[in-house]
Amino acid sequence: MSPRGLRKAERARLVRKAVEHLEDFERQCDALEFTMDAFGDNFDLARFKEAFNARDDREAYRDVQALERAIGRVQGYVGDLAQAGVRLTGLPSDPEGGGAFRARQAFEALRQAEVIDAELCGRLVKAQKGRSTIEHEYIPLSAGRVHEIAVLVQAAAQDFIGPFRAWIEPYLD
C-alpha cells in the first residue's frame, strides 16, 4: 500500500490516466471549440437552434451530435481528472454514488483543499449535471439549454485545468 492507502497498481493506473488526460486535454478542448465554431464564430445561438431543430438536414444533425459528444468528452476528462487527483493525493471524499455524483464530490474535495475556489466548483458541478442531462436525456432538452451547457463546459474546463495541473503534477512522479 502507498502512503495514501492505494495499492501500487492502482496508484500506477491513476497516474497513467491522469497523465494521459492531461496530455490530451488541449486536443479535446480544441475539438469542443471547433464544433462550437460550426455554428458561427461566436457559437451563434440562432444558428445552433436552427441546426438542433432541423429534422431533414443530416449535416446539421451531425454537427449537433458532434457538439454533444465534445461536451461529454471535455467534461468527462475534467471529472476523471478531479477524481484521480482526489484519490492520488488522499483528499477526503466519499466514493459512493454514480460517476457524476463522484465527480461532484471530487470537485468539492478540491474546493475544500483550495485547489479551486467556490465559484469554479459551482460551475464544475453545474457542468457535470449538464453533461449528465445531455448524455442520459432525463428531460427533453432545448437547443438553448445545450448551448448554455456547451459554453459553461468550455469555460469551466479552461479555468480548471491550470490550477489543477499545477497542483497535481508533483503527485505524478
Dump pLDDT digits (tens) for 81-128: 999 999 999 987 665 555 446 899 999 999 999 999 999 999 999 999
C-alpha dist (Å) from residue 151 to 53, 81, 106, 113? 19, 20, 22, 26
In a domain, 25, yes or no: yes
In a domain, 98, yes or no: yes
For residue 1, the model assigns a pLDDT of 41
In a domain, 3, yes or no: no
Its domain, for residue 65, covers 8-172
C-alpha dist (Å) from residue 160 to 41, 46, 117? 24, 29, 10
In a domain, 1, yes or no: no
CATH number at residue 48: 1.20.120.580
In a domain, 100, yes or no: yes
pLDDT higher than threshold 80 for residue 134: yes
Dump pLDDT digits (tens) for 4-63: 578 999 999 999 999 999 999 999 999 999 999 999 989 999 999 999 999 999 999 999
> Which carries the bigger pLDDT value, residue 140 or residue 103?
103
- The amino acid present at 75, given as its one-letter code, is Q
pLDDT higher than threshold 60 for residue 2: no
Dump pLDDT digits (tens) for 143-165: 999 999 999 999 999 999 999 99
Domain count, the chain: 1
Report angle CA 100, 105, 106 to the nearest 5 degrees: 95
For residue 3, the model assigns a pLDDT of 45
For residue 163, the model assigns a pLDDT of 98
For residue 102, the model assigns a pLDDT of 86
Residue listed under C-alpha cell 483543499: 113
For residue 73, the model assigns a pLDDT of 97
